[in-house]
Structure 1
């Protein structure tokens, strides 16, 4: 019904029908945690705000994982491992430590085996449909905002989509050349009447709105406004301003999923360094790949080791997107 009401879809044929009961079990939890986060933001308490944000995020991730079907790994001695290998659930066994004897030949520590079991049957008590629906529903309202608001009242010839993610979008706007860059959509509105009538459904109500209004559920707010953005790929972008007096770039936000922002330089320097906006620009204009070396701790056969791994932080290659035959 949503697609019919909002997108004027026409049903030509019905293959099957599924009925769902309305479930509001998480509504009070989400609203309460969000209200507490809004209060923390109003009090400028960044620690408490982050705390409630992490609760919401971890709750969604935890309830969306069907960990009942995950492989179960246990550490056992030889006798316990032998018994578990007789079960139908047994998947693999790996010896990780040898038996340790003292000078008299007595066993001090038995050999340890890592046994992996994969359950043949399991019962899922997690509300997986909640997580799936939340993701699908967010995509719908995302597209609803773009198609039924932006394209109807904004001059999209003066707006360019730079980067889009699950819950965010980055727009390059050609507005007024006189006013500064913090002008939002003010100078690209083509239907002021439609904008005034519908903007409160998604956007905050003016500059003096409350935190609750700005951070409302299913709403959209402006996170930051800058002069320039370089987007190499989804989750890989740099926001920066240019200081024309000294002809320098002021990096504001640098994002690179999978690589820590504070990493070791690939040239072997022991000083920590951040990726800068110049690195993104160099990669875009000169096709230069920026590499970094990351350090991770790993445990193997009871020994903790530090593993240094060189990663390509910024490249001109993007393989995280599926492109259909029609170019979409």
Structure 2
């Protein structure tokens, strides 16, 4: 249900930009008209606050609030009135989700790659074919069709996924080491989080601490 939510519902005009910078970058930004404040946190690291010169709002706020109000209903509608009726739920496992997204592990055809999606777990083909158009995009590669309000579209997919909490996961893009790590609120440019750290958290309880930039 990723037509929008999140940043589309924020008044970006009232938000300040905060970045981690070294001393040279900080000295350069201080001369900018957008500079507001800075705070030294280590010998060569500063938190710098700036006032954005531009802001944009490309989506009506009414749409963002509509998604917020109705996403949970559509979430359950899709699960109970579509998935349970035409898919083999014994081969599907819910991993994690939030207001407008859900990640599922699917035990599909081992001879096909991960892009097979639900193809091998459909048990009621007629029902699936008749109703899939009410949930999934119908025009391949058309971003406007994918972004229809309260419709479903693929955000990310891969052969495996490890999740610690909501918005805190690693999903592998292919069968190599290429992966996408999502850590809500953590700046991964300054905090290098790896697959091994996530696995160690599960297997050995090791904790990696990072500042949450959204708090």
**1:258 deviation in Å?**
2.4
Task: Provide Cα deviations, 1:127-181, integer angstroms capped at 9, x if missing partner.
Answer: x998665422111111111111111111110000001111111110000011112
Residue in structure 1 matched with residue 200 of structure 2 by the alignment: 282
- Write the distance in 2 (CA, Å) between the matches of 1:59 and 1:256: 20
Residue in structure 2 matched with residue 252 of structure 1 by the alignment: 179
Q: 1:286 to 1:135 in 2, by over 3 A?
A: same
Residue in structure 2 matched with residue 157 of structure 1 by the alignment: 90
Within 5 Å, give how 1:59-98 maps onto structure 2: 60-62=9-11
Higher strand share: 1
Report SS of the residue matched to 2:202: helix
Larger radius of gyration: 1
Report SS of the residue matched to 1:140: helix
Task: Specify every segment of 5 or more residues in structure 2 that has no aligned partner in the other structure, as ranges.
Answer: 15-60
* TM-score normalized by the length of structure 1: 0.45
Contact residue 238 and residue 251 of structure 1 kept, 8 A = no
Task: Provide Cα deviations, 1:15-59, integer angstroms capped at 9, x if missing partner.
Answer: xxxxxxxxxxxxxxxxxxx8xxxxxxxxxxxxxxxxxx7xx8656
- Write the distance in 1 (CA, Å) between the matches of 2:108 and 2:95: 16
Contact residue 169 and residue 182 of structure 2 kept, 8 A = yes
**1:212 deviation in Å?**
2.4
Q: 1:157 to 1:279 in 2, by over 3 A?
A: same
Residue in structure 2 matched with residue 178 of structure 1 by the alignment: 111
Please say if 1:225 is aligned against 2:157. yes
* TM-score normalized by the length of structure 2: 0.66
Q: CA RMSD in A?
A: 3.0
- Write the distance in 1 (CA, Å) between the matches of 2:7 and 2:112: 41
Report SS of the residue matched to 2:110: coil
Report SS of the residue matched to 1:226: coil
- Write the distance in 2 (CA, Å) between the matches of 1:254 and 1:193: 37
- Write the distance in 1 (CA, Å) between the matches of 2:162 and 2:131: 31
**1:241 deviation in Å?**
5.2
